[in-house]
């Protein structure tokens, strides 16, 4: 409830048209505390969950229910060690990979990589890995390595799926759901898909199988149901009903509006006049006028010369030139004194 309220108050969560609701009051049954009745009840909810996860069917594409039947019924019946099979072909591996992608997180590129393997390579790889598993069932790390390294698009999780179909009575599929339930007790933990984690899953599956007398396939389905049921449920948001009002702040009523300040009659807009009346203001304005009469007001620089003032002649007047000539004819006194 608190998480739902917090998500509604968060402005970032309002961008989406859906929100999640998680029922935190329901506690998940752990592998150590689950009873036989609870186990069977959860197992009975698996078919309905698969139908719920099924999307709109496409032409020439098998449905999730058909792939699920191949994974848990047809595959182990025809390609397990009980049936005498010793290897898988490319067609069988592709069907199992399609189930894995549709059943969990879908990655379309993985299916393309698996299709690039040749049928001969798939048969030789699975034959070698299953032969080693028949000799050393406890050497899980080597079996996973022999299945994953030669084949394109096959990782540790897909390799565990192939081994789970080959030996369904002892080996479970290394899925995120079974790891979270058996190892993490339902907590959201991310596996590293290491051989040690897979060995832990096998040992915990064996312990639960002995306690409740169930199979690894049934444990897979129950883990899938319990983890999927605890995921947030996407609930569509209720669309807002339009109020019919315009956008923005609503208009105030007349009695709610603030009273306007009274205006002074006869007073214009702008800066008020100086104290003393209009005559003093005009005198102040005249005193601030530029000194040069020819220079326009407000412009800086040297003022232009007035036209009524005669310019000084650039040539020397005749009288002044004659006086200069007379001075040149008069002998100049020597600045030096004679010797005594």
For 266, how many CA atoms within 13 A lie in the half-sphere containing its CB?
A: 1
* Tens digit of each residue's pLDDT (9 = 90 or more) over 212-253: 999 999 999 999 999 999 887 666 778 888 777 777 777 888
How many angstroms separate the CA atoms of 178 and 203, rounded?
12
Q: Which residues have C-beta within 8 Å of that of residue 205, sequence separation ≥ 6?
A: 172, 178, 182, 216, 219
Residue 275 confidence (pLDDT) = 63
* Tens digit of each residue's pLDDT (9 = 90 or more) over 151-193: 999 999 999 999 999 999 999 999 999 999 999 888 888 899 9
Residue 106 confidence (pLDDT) = 78
CA end-to-end span of the chain, whole Å?
130
How many angstroms separate the CA atoms of 91 and 115, rounded?
9
Q: What is the largest CA-CA distance in the chain?
A: 154
Among residues of the chain, what percentage have pLDDT more than 90?
A: 51
**173 or 13, which is more confident?**
173
Q: Count H helices, E strands: the chain? A: 15, 2
Tokens 């032409």 belong to which residue? Answer: 59
Question: Does the pLDDT at position 91 exceed 90?
Answer: yes
Q: What pTM did the predictor assign?
A: 0.63
């Amino acid at each position: 409830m608190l998480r739902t309220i917090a998500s509604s108050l968060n402005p970032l969560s309002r961008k989406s048209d859906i929100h999640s609701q998680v029922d935190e009051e329901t506690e998940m049954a752990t592998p150590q505390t689950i009873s036989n009745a609870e186990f069977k009840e959860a197992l009975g909810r698996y078919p309905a969950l698969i139908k719920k996860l099924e999307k709109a069917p496409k032409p020439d594409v098998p449905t999730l229910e058909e792939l699920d039947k191949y994974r848990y019924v047809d595959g182990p019946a025809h390609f397990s060690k009980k049936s005498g099979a010793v290897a898988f072909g490319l067609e069988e591996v592709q069907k199992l990979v399609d189930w894995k992608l549709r059943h969990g997180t879908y990655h379309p590129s993985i299916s393309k990589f698996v299709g690039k393997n040749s049928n001969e390579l798939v048969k030789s790889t699975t034959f070698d890995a299953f032969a080693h598993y028949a000799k050393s069932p406890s050497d899980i790390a080597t079996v996973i390595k022999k299945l994953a390294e030669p084949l394109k698009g096959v990782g540790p999780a897909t390799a565990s799926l192939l081994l789970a179909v080959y030996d369904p009575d002892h080996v479970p599929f290394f899925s995120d759901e079974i790891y979270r339930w058996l190892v993490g007790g339902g907590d959201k933990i991310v596996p590293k898909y290491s051989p040690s984690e897979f060995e832990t899953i096998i040992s915990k599956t064996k312990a639960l199988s002995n306690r409740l007398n169930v199979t690894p396939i049934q444990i897979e389905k129950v883990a899938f149901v319990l983890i999927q049921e605890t995921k947030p449920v996407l609930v569509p948001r209720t669309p807002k009903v339009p109020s019919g009002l315009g956008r923005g702040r609503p208009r105030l009523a007349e009695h709610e509006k603030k009273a306007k300040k009274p205006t002074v009659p006869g007073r214009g807009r702008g800066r008020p006049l100086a104290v003393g009346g209009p005559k003093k203001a005009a005198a102040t304005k005249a005193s601030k006028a530029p000194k040069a009469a020819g220079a326009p007001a407000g412009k800086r620089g040297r003022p232009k010369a007035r036209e009524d003032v005669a310019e000084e002649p650039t040539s020397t007047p005749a009288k002044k030139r004659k006086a200069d000539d007379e001075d040149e004819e008069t002998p100049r006194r020597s600045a030096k004194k004679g010797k005594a």
